[in-house]
C-alpha cells in the first residue's frame, strides 16, 4: 500500500471522531446575536443621539475609535508602499510594453457596460457611508475594483492612462496627511485629538456626523488610491510574463 493511502486510512477514524466532536461543540455554543457586549449596547443606545449618524459602525470607526482607524490608515499606506518598493524594478516605457488586449468580445462588451456602474456604486458607498451600510473602506475597495475592471476590459496601457501614477501617489499621500490634519483641528478647541468638533447636522442626511463625514471621504480616497497602486505594481509584473517583454533593471 502506498504511503499516501496508508496516511489516508490512518486519518479516517480520528477524522470521524474530530468531526463528531466539532458538531457537538458547535451546536452547544450560544446562538448568533444572543450575547451582546456592553459596549455594543451603549453604542446602540447613544451613538445616534450623540453623533447624528445612522451607521453606528462608522460612528465607532471614525469617531469613538478614530485613533484605531488612524493606525489602520498607516498600515494600509505602509503595506502599499512596501509592495511598490519591492516590485519597483522595471522602468520599461509604456509604449514598449507588450500589448495585452482583452481577447473576448463578451468580456469587452459586458465589462465596458459595468465599469461606470461599479464606479458609481463605489462613489455612492463612500458618499453615503455614514447613512447606509458601507463607509470609506468599503467604497474605496469598490473603486479600486472599478479600475481593475478597466484593465480586464482594455489593455494595460488603457489602465495606466485612466489611472495616472502621479495623481494616485498624490491622492494616497494627501489622504493620509488629511486624516492626521483633521484630528489636529480639534486641538484649538481645547478638545483631545480627533474629537468631533464640526456641526453635527441631522441623522439620515448627507450633512451629518461632523468630522465623521470628512474622515469617511478621506479614508475612501486613501483606500481607493492604495488598491489602485497595488494593481499598478502587480499588473506591471503580469505584463512581464507576456512574450515580447523587455525588462530594464535599475
Partner 1 sequence: MTALQAVVLTLVGIVGVATVLCYDPRRQAVVNGLFGLLLTLLFTVLAAPDVAMSAIVVSSVVYPAVVLVTVNRTRHPGPERPERQDGGPARDPAGSGGDR
Chain residues binding partner 1 by CB under 8 A are 31-33, 55, 57-58, 100, 102-103, 125, 133-135, 137-138, 141-142, 144-145, 148, 152, 227, 230-231, 234-235, 237-238, 240-243, 245-247, 249
Non-local (6+) Cβ contacts of 123 within 8 A are: 139, 143
> Cell numbers 451613538 label which residue?
47
Q: Using the minimum distance from each CB to partner 1, give the nearer residue, 200 or 229.
A: 229
- Cβ closest to partner 1, residue 122 vs residue 178: 122
Compare residues 136 and 203 and give the one whose CB is closer to partner 1.
136
Closest separation in Å from C-beta 238 to partner 1: 5
Residue among 49 and 249 whose Cβ is closer to partner 1: 249
Looking at the Cβ atoms of 50 and 102, the one nearer to partner 1 is 102
CB 234 → partner 1: shortest distance, Å? 5
Is 63 or 186 the residue whose CB approaches partner 1 more closely? 63
Closest contact distance (angstroms) between CB of 101 and partner 1 is 10
DSSP annotation string for 153-209: HS-HHHHHHHS-HHHHHHHHHHHHHHHHHHHHTTGGGTPPTT---S--B-TTSSSBS
Please, what is the minimum distance in Å from the beta carbon of residue 30 to partner 1? 10
End-to-end alpha-carbon separation of the chain, Å?
Answer: 54
Contacts (Cβ under 8 Å, ≥6 apart) of 55: 129, 130, 131, 132, 133, 134, 135
Kindly tell me the burial class for residue 3, based on how many C-beta atoms sit within 10 Å of its own C-beta (0-12, 13-18, 19 or more): exposed
Which run of H or E residues covers position 238? helix 211-240
Cα 174 to Cα 168: distance, rounded to the nearest angstrom: 10
Q: How far is the CB of 174 from partner 1 (least distance, A)?
A: 22
Residue 138: its H or E element: helix 136-153
Q: CA-CA distance, 206 to 129, in Å (whole number)?
A: 9
Nearer to partner 1, 163 or 186 (CB): 163
Closest contact distance (angstroms) between CB of 195 and partner 1 is 23
In the bound complex, what is the minimum distance in angstroms from residue 190's beta carbon to partner 1? 33
Q: Where do runs of H (alpha helix) occur along 56-130?
A: 56-59, 66-87, 105-127
Amino acid at each position: 500500500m502506498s504511503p499516501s493511502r496508508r496516511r489516508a486510512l490512518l486519518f479516517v477514524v480520528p477524522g470521524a471522531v474530530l468531526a463528531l466532536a466539532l458538531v457537538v461543540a458547535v451546536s452547544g455554543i450560544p446562538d448568533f446575536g444572543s450575547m451582546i457586549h456592553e459596549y455594543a449596547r451603549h453604542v446602540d443606545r447613544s451613538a445616534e443621539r450623540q453623533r447624528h449618524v445612522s451607521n453606528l459602525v462608522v460612528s465607532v470607526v471614525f469617531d469613538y475609535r478614530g485613533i484605531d482607524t488612524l493606525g489602520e490608515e498607516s498600515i494600509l499606506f505602509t503595506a502599499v508602499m512596501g509592495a511598490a518598493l519591492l516590485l519597483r524594478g522595471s522602468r520599461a516605457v509604456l509604449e514598449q510594453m507588450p500589448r495585452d488586449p482583452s481577447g473576448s468580445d463578451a468580456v469587452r462588451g459586458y465589462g465596458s457596460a459595468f465599469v461606470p456602474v461599479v464606479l458609481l456604486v463605489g462613489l455612492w458607498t463612500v458618499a453615503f457611508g455614514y447613512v447606509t451600510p458601507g463607509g470609506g473602506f468599503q467604497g474605496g475597495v469598490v473603486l479600486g475594483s472599478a479600475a481593475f475592471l478597466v484593465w480586464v476590459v482594455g489593455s494595460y496601457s488603457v489602465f495606466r492612462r485612466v489611472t495616472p501614477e502621479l495623481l494616485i501617489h498624490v491622492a494616497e499621500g494627501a489622504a493620509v496627511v488629511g486624516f492626521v490634519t483633521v484630528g489636529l483641528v480639534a486641538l484649538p478647541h481645547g478638545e483631545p485629538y480627533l474629537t468631533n468638533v464640526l456641526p453635527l447636522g441631522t441623522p439620515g442626511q448627507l450633512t451629518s456626523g461632523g468630522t465623521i463625514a470628512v474622515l469617511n471621504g478621506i479614508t475612501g480616497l486613501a483606500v481607493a488610491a492604495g488598491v489602485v497602486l497595488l494593481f499598478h505594481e502587480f499588473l506591471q509584473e503580469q505584463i512581464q510574463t507576456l512574450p515580447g517583454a523587455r525588462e530594464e533593471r535599475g
